[in-house]
Chain A
Amino acid sequence: MSNTSENPNPSSSSAKITLKTSDNELFEVEEAVAMKFCTVKQYFEDEKDNDVAARGSSTVIPLPNVHSAVLARLISYCKKLPQSNAVADNHEEEETKKKERKQYGTPGDLVDLISAANYLDFKEGLEFFNQALADHIQNKSVEYVRKFFGIKGDFEPHEEEKYREEYAWAFEGVDED
């Protein structure tokens, strides 16, 4: 579906790498983008060692753990990446970044994006999405976080009660879900 839309200039000189997602979708991406994914890079380098690199872009790198919808978003994030990860100098900049992070905010998506970024060993992305997620659960109730991540509270009731009593101040005054 997105093979062509991802590549407005197929004639550009930079090398292309083809990635194959779990649902057998093929993505042709620029090498610079693909090399941001350490897993892909590693695979690519291993291939080189095996003298298969001659095949160039015809090599298809399978990514069995990544769904096409997620990969498309990761690639689009990758493309507008360069400035967005420098440490913020002042408060204002930090605020704009927070807003930027909020755009990726749909909770389920974020979890998927992080899983994929983790699998691909895509450091900048992982950092960004992790921070986005951290922003999300900031000052939220434990119940919200559980729902958010689809986690079941697996503490025994008396255990949980004890913890909440011990650190009561941490559970007070949280934001509305």
Chain B
Amino acid sequence: MKFVGALYSVHCSRKAITDTHRSEIHSSLLISGSFISMFSPFLDPYTKEERFYIYLGYLTSRGCYIITITVTLGPRYGISLSFSRILYLIVKSIEAVLTDPFHPLASIMVSMICILLTDLAECFWLKIGLGSNVQSELPPEVVREIVNRLHTFQDFVAAAGVSRTWRSVCLSISRRPQLPCLMLSETLSTDMRHFFSLCDNNRYQLLLSEVQGKRCWGSPHGWIVTLGPDYETHLLHLTKRVQIALPPLNTIRTLAATEEWFRLVHKFILLNDPSQESSLLVIAIFGPVNRLAFARVAFDRGGEGAALNRRGQGQWAIVTNPDILKFNDVACFNDQLYGLCDNGKLVCLEFDAPLAAEVQVIALQPSEEEVGMPQKLYLMNSSENLFVMRHETICFLVYKFNFGALAWEEVTDLEDLAVFVGDGNSWCIHTSAISNCIYFTDDNWEWQRHPGVACGGRDVGVFSMARRLPWLMLSETLSTDMRHFFSLYYNNRYQLRLPQVHEKRYWGSPHGWVVTLGPDYETHLLHLMKRVQIPLPPLNTIRTLAPIEEWFRLVHKFILFKDPSQDSSLLVIAIFGPVNRLAFARVAFDRGGGGAFLNRRGQGQWAIVTNPDNLKFNDVACFNDQIYGLCDNGKLVRFELDAPLAAELQVIAPQPSEEEVGMPQKLYLVETSENLYGIFRYGFHIPSKMRHETIYFLVYKLNFGALAWEEVTDLEDIAVFVGEGNSWCIPTSTILCRSNCIYFTDDNWEWQRYPGVAYGGHDVGVFNMAQRLLQNLSISCSGFELIDYLGFFFGYIKRKREKKKKKKKKKKK
């Protein structure tokens, strides 16, 4: 190997690339098939090193492979060699180069010295044999990693313009994570569309005359589906501007004859056909009963004829659906198509097996108690999991499919996923920039009467899985069942039809559940997002102790906890009657064997806490798995629910001196992961205006060493929520709430004579601890008057607390 010898001499010393050696290489003979060329050294402006390139080429019948050897002459590295890229050029272009002396590539050929290489494999042997020291140019897999980390679509496209290696790398990245773009709707008459990139928050314009006057469905493949008033459907690639006509919709139209064009198909879903590469599967969910049809689109790449006679080629094939399942979404996972039907039934779809059943039920829907009445369902695959989303305008619930147990499991964390749901494909990407969020667009065309009049189009937003709190539920007159919710995080208002709270009184909690009490003395637990209702035990025992109270004044406060002694069950505590007595009940969720705890106190009935000293309870909190109550004017007691022999109540700390606290109107007990706070609320009544006004708060912290209350003036980074229901707080580092604040709602039902007449309900606001100031809740909604917002706060903070506890446990260890 003459060539190897020459290179080794280059490697030996810097002198090696003096003219003598170069001429030595020059003197080699051109033998057809292989060549080598060398460029004079140049100074790299960035690394301050001298470099030159040697191109080593090998011609085959299919093309030409070129290996670039970079020789770096630097103060640090001495001489190093690297084989960095192998390019594939089409033979024709090489021939062109050889004949055209002014062609840019011809410079390679000018100083071309060819040597004999018997096989390309020897080049690779050379690579190993020479052992490059430092690779000045990065291998494609590393380039791929770098390109993958570019945040914007713009950078990504530009990177494809750097060189051929980079282009091929960019093309090989199939998921293109940097390009979630939101296509904004416009009036039907314009053909300029705006795109909003979610990663760099930039807006791009694209002239798209093809979508003018049409309805569009998006997908993560770059293709969109358009449907025009003439019932013509097209596939359109947004960046390449290629348009492919889809088969005519005749078969679909015969099955849904009365539908208007823009409501004919609810959803077009684009998938890569699992059974055949380089072809797309277009799935349509259409008609009044959400039937399913599909068509195959093959891209012309060589011999396509083989697949021509398959179902759905050139026409829409209707999926037979004997059980009349109502399809909501379809996703492809592990080369298998899955559909989501009805309220969460998962089915497996088989399009090409004429003998097997086309639709096969895999998993039944989750129990109605768990999911309630979702408005929309979406199905998507990440690389490992199948997810289902339930969209309820104000909230999303996410379920993951457990393929082992063939059942849905609720998840509260999407980790590094960002999910996109709306009209078209439901899809998700792994990303660190915008993770753990659900991006949603309007998906309510069935309510739309006329095309183009944006009846919807406004229901667009982001739902952060980690930040689903806190909410303020606004009160309404008793006769309506429509409730308004105000998100303190998004500063936005949402509507929810809640017939379950109609003419009832309700109490909030941070667990997503609320307690309702009706005029018939029936109490229920209601999950506001899932719309699930669980009856609580009858109030008989409580009513015998407070016989003369009216229904809406019987119980002052319902407090909800996770039962500390038992996972997956809730503890409901009621403060009731004229002397504020305490009762509790346990609610177990049916998950496997619940029987074991059936004979515990409070299971299936209200148990009254014995209270020999007639303490007047104001609030209860659960701190470190112990239940504490705040009595009278600040006395702290701890009580045991399950120890029949020990005293149920145990006084922990006496109340602060009367001079200090005076006569607080309301007391609340709030726990953080480290501290227990007593909050004293002061205010007065204005009988003429029939309202109550809060003027001041005092906050005390329990000193566990001295077992006494200590006044604090600073709540640090927490925001406290007090009112009728649970008193709770959250660290504001996790949300955008004001920190060091107490959010309060009205809590004065004992002054109320009639249900529904909002005697109170006006006493809502924020108390700023730092400035000692009362502020209004900045509820800024256009076209919305807050006449009375008798409400309460609720949220969904299960996960956060659990995490904190775990951390604490670790510390202890």
Neighbour of A164 across the interface among B134, B155, B161, CB < 8 A: B161
Name the interface residues of B21-53: CB closer than 8 Å to any CB of A. 44-49, 51
Q: Indicate if the CB atoms of B166 and A114 lie closer than 8 Å.
A: no
Q: Indicate if the CB atoms of A155 and B164 lie closer than 8 Å.
A: yes
Name the residue on A nearest B139 (C-beta): A118
Q: Indicate if the CB atoms of A174 and B158 lie closer than 8 Å.
A: yes
Check B222 for interface membership: any CB of A closer than 8 A. Answer: no
B163 contacts across to A, CB distance below 8 A: 146, 151-155
Neighbour of B151 across the interface among A138, A142, A152, CB < 8 A: A138
Give the distance in Å from the alpha carbon of A28 to the alpha carbon of B161 in the complex. Answer: 43
Check B136 for interface membership: any CB of A closer than 8 A. Answer: yes
Q: Indicate if the CB atoms of B161 and A163 lie closer than 8 Å.
A: yes
Where the two chains meet, the residues of A that have a C-beta atom closer than 8 Å to any C-beta of B are 22-23, 64-65, 67, 69-70, 87-88, 107-108, 111-112, 114-116, 118, 126-127, 130-131, 133-134, 137-139, 141-142, 145-157, 160, 163-164, 166-167, 169-171, 174
Q: Indicate if the CB atoms of A142 and B145 lie closer than 8 Å.
A: no
Give the distance in Å from the alpha carbon of A13 to the alpha carbon of B138 in the complex. Answer: 38
Q: Indicate if the CB atoms of B51 and A150 lie closer than 8 Å.
A: yes
Q: Indicate if the CB atoms of B158 and A171 lie closer than 8 Å.
A: yes
Q: Indicate if the CB atoms of B136 and A157 lie closer than 8 Å.
A: no
Q: Indicate if the CB atoms of A69 and B76 lie closer than 8 Å.
A: yes
Neighbour of A130 across the interface among B77, B149, B161, CB < 8 A: B149
27 A-B contacts (beta carbon < 8 Å)? A22-B133, A64-B131, A65-B132, A67-B134, A69-B76, A87-B435, A107-B47, A108-B44, A108-B48, A114-B138, A115-B135, A115-B136, A118-B141, A126-B142, A126-B145, A134-B148, A134-B149, A138-B151, A145-B158, A149-B137, A150-B44, A150-B46, A150-B70, A153-B162, A153-B163, A154-B163, A167-B158
Give the distance in Å from the alpha carbon of A95 to the alpha carbon of B253 in the complex. Answer: 54
Given A156-B93, A170-B154, A171-B161, 19 other A-B residues pairs in contact with their CB atoms under 8 A: A65-B132, A65-B135, A67-B133, A67-B134, A70-B134, A88-B432, A108-B49, A111-B136, A112-B134, A114-B138, A118-B138, A130-B145, A133-B146, A134-B149, A139-B154, A142-B158, A149-B137, A163-B160, A167-B161
Neighbour of B152 across the interface among A138, A157, A164, CB < 8 A: A138
Q: Indicate if the CB atoms of B132 and A142 lie closer than 8 Å.
A: no
Name the residue on A nearest B82 (C-beta): A115
Neighbour of B146 across the interface among A130, A156, A167, CB < 8 A: A130
Q: Indicate if the CB atoms of A170 and B158 lie closer than 8 Å.
A: yes
Give the distance in Å from the alpha carbon of A166 to the alpha carbon of B47 in the complex. Answer: 34
Give the distance in Å from the alpha carbon of A74 to the alpha carbon of B319 in the complex. Answer: 58
A69 contacts across to B, CB distance below 8 A: 76
Neighbour of B133 across the interface among A64, A111, A130, A163, CB < 8 A: A64
Give the distance in Å from the alpha carbon of A29 to the alpha carbon of B164 in the complex. Answer: 40
Name the residue on B nearest A156 (C-beta): B104
Give the distance in Å from the alpha carbon of A115 to the alpha carbon of B204 in the complex. Answer: 36
Give the distance in Å from the alpha carbon of A137 to the alpha carbon of B146 in the complex. Answer: 9
Query: Chain A: interface secondary structure?
Result: helix
Where the two chains meet, the residues of B that have a C-beta atom closer than 8 Å to any C-beta of A are 44-49, 51, 70, 76-78, 87, 93, 104, 131-139, 141-142, 145-166, 204-206, 239-240, 416, 432, 435
Q: Indicate if the CB atoms of A151 and B162 lie closer than 8 Å.
A: yes
Name the residue on B nearest A136 (C-beta): B146
Give the distance in Å from the alpha carbon of A112 to the alpha carbon of B135 in the complex. Answer: 7
- State how many angstroms separate the Cβ of B12 from the closest Cβ of chain A: 15
Give the distance in Å from the alpha carbon of A138 to the alpha carbon of B155 in the complex. Answer: 6
A154 contacts across to B, CB distance below 8 A: 87, 163-164
A163 contacts across to B, CB distance below 8 A: 160-161
Give the distance in Å from the alpha carbon of A7 to the alpha carbon of B105 in the complex. Answer: 52
Name the residue on B nearest A126 (C-beta): B145
Q: Indicate if the CB atoms of A115 and B138 lie closer than 8 Å.
A: yes
- State how many angstroms separate the Cβ of A141 from the closest Cβ of chain B: 8
The 3 tightest CB contacts between A and B, nearest first, are: A108-B47, A134-B149, A170-B157
B153 contacts across to A, CB distance below 8 A: 170
B149 contacts across to A, CB distance below 8 A: 130-131, 133-134
Neighbour of B166 across the interface among A70, A116, A151, A166, CB < 8 A: A151
**B70, B157, B416 interface centre (most CB from chain A within 10 Å):** B157
- State how many angstroms separate the Cβ of A140 from the closest Cβ of chain B: 8
Q: Indicate if the CB atoms of A114 and B142 lie closer than 8 Å.
A: yes
**B139, B149, B432 interface centre (most CB from chain A within 10 Å):** B149
Give the distance in Å from the alpha carbon of A127 to the alpha carbon of B148 in the complex. Answer: 11
Q: Indicate if the CB atoms of A148 and B46 lie closer than 8 Å.
A: yes
B164 contacts across to A, CB distance below 8 A: 154-155
- State how many angstroms separate the Cβ of A139 from the closest Cβ of chain B: 6
B147 contacts across to A, CB distance below 8 A: 134
B155 contacts across to A, CB distance below 8 A: 137-139, 170
Q: Indicate if the CB atoms of A115 and B152 lie closer than 8 Å.
A: no
Neighbour of A134 across the interface among B131, B138, B146, B154, CB < 8 A: B146
Q: Indicate if the CB atoms of B136 and A139 lie closer than 8 Å.
A: no
Give the distance in Å from the alpha carbon of A22 to the alpha carbon of B77 in the complex. Answer: 9
Give the distance in Å from the alpha carbon of A142 to the alpha carbon of B160 in the complex. Answer: 9
Give the distance in Å from the alpha carbon of A112 to the alpha carbon of B132 in the complex. Answer: 13
